[in-house]
Every structure is written in structure tokens, then in C-alpha cells.
Amino acid sequence: MTRFRPNTLTLVTDRRQLAPDARTAADEMRALTALVDAAIDVGIDYIQLREADLDARSFVQVAAHAVRQSRGTGTRVLVNDRADVALVSGADGVHLKSDGPVVNVVRALGRDWMVGRSIHAGDDPATVGAPDYLIFGTVFPSASKPAGHAASGLAALSRLVGASRSPVVAIGGITPENAPLVLEAGAAGVAAVGVFLPEGRTPDARGIQRAVQQFRAIAAFRHAC
């Protein structure tokens, strides 16, 4: 079984935020593929393809491309929700929603892959099976969530870390500036959408290369360089 590597960086994709001015679906896909390539080139640890509304054929294409490009590197490719897409593309694992299938059911599909799951404040980690990791959020206010979505905060993250037998990754408004706080709260890594977007897309966006370099300047993240 592939195990989650601690103190790692995860790019979570969102082609709508990435290319809000795209005129066609093909333009969106080109932007998404370019981000994936840049993330692999700069040495991101995990790419989580979160494209729920993408048709199956296009999803397989981008996932298979990411898998091909990442082979022989330290980057691993995870597909959100779509175990079928992960199987066909040869991805390294599946990330499940908080209300998704039971982890062991997905494992039983026969792949030696990683299975993660989202979890939120108030959820009981004992009820989600035995995922390789959990992603908890949102920790800080995030542009990826709708207006009025309350951030959970560092105290909630710390409580979940203490209650979970699986490593917990923090998501939601994570930047190189506040990443030390989530690591101090016990997070085993960070995941983000906005900070990795091209500069100007969100208030915290600074581009994949610059963001990864700034995260790597934090001692806990240097092991994966």
C-alpha cells in the first residue's frame, strides 16, 4: 500500500479559478495541463485533480497526462472522487469527499493505491475507515469556498489531529506565511488551491513556482526537494 509522505505539499486543481477568462473548454484544459506540468517541474509532492464537473473522457486525458509526466519524479497524482478515472489513467490514488464511499470499498477495487478523505470540524475520524490521510478544512478563510463559509481554525485542526489515527493535511487559506502555524498544530502537510494560482487570480496567488519555493524555504518542507 502506498503511504502518505509527511510534511508535503499538495496542489489541488480548480480549472475555473485557474482560467476564469477562458473562452472554451479547450482553453481551460490547456491551462490545467500547463499548471500540472509546471507543478511537476517544480517538484510538488501531490497533485489532487479536483475537477468534479469535467466529463469522463477529458478527466481521463488530463489524469493520464499527469501520470505520464510524473513518472520518475517525486510527484504523485490523486483523482478526486472518480475511482474509475483513477483506474483507467493509472493514477496513484483517489481522494474521497467527506460523504463519499467507504475507504475500504474503494481499496477493494484491487489497486495498490493511496486513498484519502476529506473531513470537517465536528466529524468523527473513527467513522471514516482507515484512509492513508485526511484533508481537514477550511482552516483559514479561503477563496475556494462560498461567501459565509466559516473557517474552522487552528484549534479545530489540533483537536482532529489528536483524535485521528491517520495523518491530517490542512487546507483552506494556507500560505507560506501561515504554514508554520498549521504544522505546529500537528498537520502532516498542507494542500492549497489559491496560493498556487497565477499571481493576481486570488489575493494570495503567487504562481506555482514561487509558492513552492517559498514553502520549501520552511524547514519542515525541505525534505521533499
Judge whether 3 lies within some domain. no
Judge whether 55 lies within some domain. yes
What confidence score (pLDDT) does residue 147 get? 43
Report how far residue 211's alpha carbon sits from residue 113's, in angstroms, rounded to the nearest whole number: 28
Output the CA torsion 224→204→192→52 (10° steps): -140
Amino acid letter for position 81:
D
Q: Residue 12 above 50 pLDDT? A: yes
Judge whether 2 lies within some domain. no
Q: Is 114 helix (H, G, I), strand (E, B) or coil?
A: strand
What confidence score (pLDDT) does residue 39 get? 98
Amino acid letter for position 66:
A
Q: Residue 87 above 70 pLDDT? A: yes
Judge whether 204 lies within some domain. yes
Report how far residue 41's alpha carbon sits from residue 221's, in angstroms, rounded to the nearest whole number: 17
Residues 59-82 pLDDT 10s? 999 999 999 999 999 999 999 999
What confidence score (pLDDT) does residue 225 get? 41
What confidence score (pLDDT) does residue 1 get? 45
Task: Give the domain range for residue 184.
Answer: 8-224
Residues 161-199 pLDDT 10s? 999 999 999 999 999 999 999 999 999 999 999 999 999
Judge whether 127 lies within some domain. yes
Dihedrals φ, ψ of 30, to 5°? -65, -40
Residue 114 contacts residue 78 (beta carbons within 8 Å): yes
What confidence score (pLDDT) does residue 101 get? 83
What confidence score (pLDDT) does residue 223 get? 58
Residues 93-150 pLDDT 10s? 999 998 888 888 888 886 788 999 999 888 888 888 889 999 998 899 776 654 444 5
**82: domain CATH number?**
3.20.20.70
Q: Residue 58 above 60 pLDDT? A: yes
Q: Residue 208 above 80 pLDDT? A: yes
**Residue 136: its H or E element:** strand 133-136
What confidence score (pLDDT) does residue 126 get? 80
Judge whether 88 lies within some domain. yes
Judge whether 46 lies within some domain. yes
Domain count, the chain: 1
Number of H helices, E strands in the chain: 8, 8
Q: Give the chain's radius of gyration (CA, Å).
A: 16
Judge whether 95 lies within some domain. yes
What confidence score (pLDDT) does residue 182 get? 95
